[in-house]
Chains A and B, each alone.
Chain A
Amino acid sequence: MTKGMRFGVGDRLAPLTKPPVTRTQLVMYAGASGDFNPIHTVESFAQEAGLGGVIAHGMLTMAFVGQMLTDLFGESGELSTFGIRFIDMVRPDDIITCEGVVTEVEEAANGQIVTCDVWATKAPGDVKVVQGTARFSIFA
């Protein structure tokens, strides 16, 4: 994103649609994050736990929403707060779309401080799998 970007209340954030979640990705995330709970990687374990198969780490979906935010402002901004509530399970082959809307804008000496609602769905308009808020600074 270019310098000097400005936001107004009600602005939609540029959405991010990720490629389908894969089992390989869950193994990679387990390794990279150190979260080796087998419900994310071992099909038989997840079945026995009553989950109907492996599910994605909630933190992976949160990372997708984080990417939507950092893609938005690149080096022209900085995230100051980011909170997510995990609502529904994400599974291999799910295609996650991250979205957001600006709820508050504060003019600052060197730019803006922008607060937004953020969420992710498996299909546009579908139920939210995660939902939360973020605040970031944009440098003028």
Chain B
Amino acid sequence: MGVDMHDFLPLVGVWSEPVKNEVEKGAIRKFAQAIGDDNPLYSNEEAAKKSRYGRLVAPPTFSRTFDYGRIPNLVLPTAGLIHGEQSYVFHRPILAGDGLYASQALVDVKERSGKLGRMIILLFSYKVENEAGDLVQTATSTIIYRPEGGNSHD
């Protein structure tokens, strides 16, 4: 395919336009069901109301469901991507009814050759802020792309 890290370098540091995400009760419940987590704070409004949160709470990795907007001119291949790492810093809880602004950027790109062939390593950064502009969550993902193929998974 001829893709190399120089295709990505000009995009480093370019943030997407933040997208507003409404945190819906139903979305939290469905996410909790999918991961098989029966924590009442995620699904039982009475329990959540009595908690210090006062509203249904989102599980730690729920922000995976958000729309982070498009990074201009970024075209990712559809196959050959491996999710290498994921990390979160939690600043404030995410609660049902929140309106949160999510954005993303490619923040680093490296190329390596190993025994599995050539790898392009993309580091993405994610930001979630509330309507007051306070930081709710930041995250990073390491995505490994093998241009010459191989198994794709994430």
- Residues of chain A touching chain B, judged by Cβ–Cβ distance below 8 Å, are 18-19, 25, 28-29, 31-35, 37, 39, 49-51, 55, 57-60, 62-64, 66-67, 69-71, 75, 78-86, 89, 132
* Interface size class, chain B: 20 to 34
Q: Which of A29, A31, A51, A132 contacts B35 (CB 8 A)?
A: A29
Residues from chain B with Cβ under 8 Å of A37 in the complex: 154
Is A58 touching B154 in the complex (CB atoms < 8 A)? yes
Closest to B149 in A: A50
Chain A contacts of B85 at CB under 8 A? 83-86
- Shortest B31–chain A CB gap in Å is 4
B23-61 at interface with A (beta carbon < 8 Å): 27, 30-31, 33-37, 39, 41, 51-52, 59-61
B36 & A19 in contact (Cβ 8 Å cutoff)? yes
A82: which of B36, B64, B79, B88 is its contact (CB, 8 Å)? B88
From A88, which residue of chain B is reached at the shortest CB distance? B153
Which of chain A's residues has its CB closest to B88's CB? A82
Bound together, the chains give a CA A66 to CA B30 distance in angstroms of 16
**What's the nearest-Cβ distance from chain B to residue A13, in Å?**
15
Measured CB to CB, the residues of B under 8 A from A are 27, 30-31, 33-37, 39, 41, 51-52, 59-61, 64-65, 67, 79, 82-90, 93, 150-154
Q: Which residues of A contact B87 (CB under 8 A)?
A: 81-84, 132
Task: Give Cα A91–Cα B49 distance, bound, in whole angstroms.
Answer: 37
Q: How far is the CB of B96 from chain A (nearest CB, A)?
A: 15
Q: Are B151 and A25 in contact (CB under 8 A)?
A: no
Measured CB to CB, the nearest residue on chain A to B31 is: A32
Are A89 and B153 closer than 8 Å at their CB atoms? yes
Q: Is the CB of A31 within 8 A of B34?
A: yes
- Is the Cβ of A58 less than 8 Å from the Cβ of B83? yes
